[in-house]
Amino acid sequence: MPKQAPNQVPSLAVRYASWFKVGAAVNHRTIATHAELIRQHFNSITAENEMKFESLHPKPHTFDFGPADDILDFAKQNGIQMRGHTLVWHNQTPHWVFQNDSGEVRSRAELLGTMRHHIHTVMGHYQGNMYCWDVVNEAVSDEGETLLRPSRWREQVGEDYLAQAFWYAHEADPEAQLFYNDYNETNPTKREKIYRLVKDLLDQGVPIHGIGLQGHFKLDGIVLDEVKAAIERYASLGVRLQVTELDISLYDLGDRRKDITHPDPERLAQQAERYEELFDLFRQYASVIDAVTTWGVADDETWLDGFPVKGRKDWPLLFDVEHQPKPALAHLLR
Ligand code: HAH
């Protein structure tokens, strides 16, 4: 549990301890550069990239646990818990998984063999050290009525690749809490698809215990009623929920400007209100929400500097580029 030092800003994790864990995504740099903030304010961390397939398993017979193990060591030294992110995803997965050196597409049996080997090796390595796993990330399509996005997992294994992944994960560690994680999860159309997908899996008896709501919001795009409806809909399945990747971009949808170098104080004030409303809502659902994780620690290290517009600055988190508390943090500690 983070320390509550005197004469300092109170700790976020301590403030919310009776409702849910408060987490942050970290990476091999920020566990050094942002160590103080992480220790003081968070009691859960997620590796931003270091536990993805391409990082842990770059070649068929090569596993590289070094950078991820450094993050786990940091967590252990500081009494912080860790989520596992992520075992099966269409991104940040090496080509060798799907095709051989001559470019020949691998068969369903080969791909399932690789999937099982990867899941068993990774979950075996971290057994007892992750309080949950994102087993499958982002399988649902954003387009129209299609349920699953086209991906090499779906094309080459078939639609049952999700069920297979969850079975392998359960086999690897029967104690593990297994999550399905996705974005745009509060959009009503996508929400119903995610609901249907997880319901189907549950109806088949597949071991799936939770849904991760990524929570990548845009300042003007947060519809609180939709967030609430998504929480209720997913919770009706009887699974646990986590907000896994929360951030609030200061850019509106479609804004492609790259020339803004400082955040507008008025937008920061609005961002603070949105964060407060979201955390108030999450608190109302604390009986089903186990953790709320921001996708980063401070605004000097955020994936949104490269997405969806490369090379523009964004300010989506609770601490500023100087690691000072933003208005949003003050609102959450009120
Ligand atoms: C997430 N995708 C991933 O889960 C995480 O692993 C990565 O580091 C960053 C974000 C989000 C995403 C999105 O919001 C829209 C399109 C594609 C991906």
Tell whether 43 is covered by a domain: yes
For residue 327, give the CATH number of its domain.
3.20.20.80
Q: Whose CA is nearest to atom 12 of ligand 1?
A: 183
48 lines ligand 1 (CB under 6 A): yes
| Angle subtended by helix axes 224-235 and 188-203, to nearest 10 | 10
> What is the token pair recorded at 279?
């955390």
Q: Which residues form the domain of 122?
A: 6-333
Tell whether 1 is covered by a domain: no
| Angle subtended by helix axes 224-235 and 265-284, to nearest 10 | 30
Residue 8: per-residue pLDDT: 73
Tell whether 64 is covered by a domain: yes
The pick from 46, 242, 303, 310 for probing ligand 1's pocket by mutation, whose C-beta has the most ligand atoms within 8 angstroms, reads 303
The pick from 136, 138, 185, 244 for probing ligand 1's pocket by mutation, whose C-beta has the most ligand atoms within 8 angstroms, reads 138
Q: CA torsion sign, 276 to 188 to 284 to 293?
A: negative
pLDDT by 10-residue block (mean), the chain, 334 residues: 64 98 98 98 98 98 98 98 98 98 97 98 98 99 94 98 99 98 98 98 98 98 98 98 99 96 98 98 98 99 98 98 98 97
The count of structural domains within the chain is: 1
**Quick one: 318 exposed, middle or buried, by C-beta within 10 A (0-12, 13-18, 19+)?**
buried
The pick from 27, 245, 251 for probing ligand 1's pocket by mutation, whose C-beta has the most ligand atoms within 8 angstroms, reads 245
- Distance (angstroms) between ligand 1 centre and the Cα of 71 equals 20
Estimate to the nearest angstrom the gap between the alpha carbon of 12 and the chain centroid. 19
Q: For residues 34 and 22, what is the distance between their CA atoms, to the nearest angstrom?
A: 16
Please name the residue that has the structure tokens 């949003």.
328
Tell whether 242 is covered by a domain: yes
Q: Whose CA is nearest to atom 17 of ligand 1?
A: 183
Tell whether 184 is covered by a domain: yes
303 lines ligand 1 (CB under 6 A): yes
Q: Whose CA is nearest to atom 4 of ligand 1?
A: 137
- The whole-model pTM stands at 0.97
Tell whether 273 is covered by a domain: yes
Catalytic positions are 138, 245
Residue 143: per-residue pLDDT: 85
Residue 173: per-residue pLDDT: 98
Tell whether 214 is covered by a domain: yes
Tell whether 20 is covered by a domain: yes
Instruction: Tell how strand 21-26 and strand 44-47 pair up.
Output: parallel
- Distance (angstroms) between ligand 1 centre and the Cα of 184 equals 10
216 lines ligand 1 (CB under 6 A): yes
**Quick one: 111 exposed, middle or buried, by C-beta within 10 A (0-12, 13-18, 19+)?**
buried
Residue 9: per-residue pLDDT: 80
